[in-house]
Amino acid sequence: MPAGDGRSIDEGAFSESPIPGEGFYCFLRYGHILSSLLREFLESAFLDRLNPHGLTRSQFCFLKLIAGNSELQVCELARYLGVSPAASSKNLDRLEELGLVVRETSPIDRRATLISASPAGRELVESFERLKASHLAPVIDELGEQRAAELCNLLEDVCLKLMERQMIPDAPCMRCAGYYREDCAVEALQGECALKPRRGAEA
């Protein structure tokens, strides 16, 4: 039977798979709850509080990526965030209209347009991060350093095992919202990190 991307699926593999245990369903349940809490409720609520412009989460993702990097091109943004160049341009038009990003012609290639965050755009991203940290950091602190480290290790293991099994075959990165570390295991597994701050981004 063909898969959605044209690859064939071995139907026999499903019939031979062991019946999942309670740990499997517990992982799915709480994984879904955590994802929903972080993305659908907390991040959306924080953005609504800080955002007088009515930015969508998609537009804010663009802004956050731009603020963490210097002089990105439209095609790079589209590739990093997994959207079409047309969708990328549409989001950038809105951000530029609000004065949150600036477009400039590349001094090296006059055909290329470079995108950077304006001071207002950087301040919006920084305010968002401060607000999120003020709410989430106390929750993690209550776990204690050892339990928090164990949780991080378990989450990292699950993410890497999913990618090693090619369950997310075409993702250039996991779009982790820019919380980049030099020893990022995902980058080591999949290559260049799109969200790694570029030299000069903080200038």
DSSP 50-82: H-TT---HHHHHHHHHHHTSSSEEHHHHHHHHT
What is the CATH T-level fold of the domain 20-185, as seen in this structure? Arc Repressor Mutant, subunit A (1.10.10)
Classify 145 as helix, strand or coil: helix
Q: What are phi and psi of 53, to 5 degrees?
A: -95, -10
CB crowding 60-93: b at 16 or more within 10 Å, else e: bbbbbbbbbbbbbebebbbebbebeeeebeebbe
Query: Average pLDDT of 28-39?
Result: 84
pLDDT digits (tens, 9 = 90+) for 144-190: 989 999 988 888 888 778 777 765 555 545 555 455 566 666 566 55
**pLDDT band with cut points at 50, 70 and 90 for residue 8:** very low
Whether residue 100 is predicted with pLDDT greater than 90 in this model: the reply is yes
More confident residue, 190 or 141: 141
Instruction: Report how far residue 94's alpha carbon sits from residue 66's, in angstroms, rounded to the nearest whole number.
Output: 14
Average pLDDT of the chain? 75
Tens digits of residue pLDDT in 114-131:
888 999 999 998 988 888
Under the banding of pLDDT at 50, 70 and 90, the label for residue 96 is: very high
Q: What is the pLDDT of residue 153?
A: 87
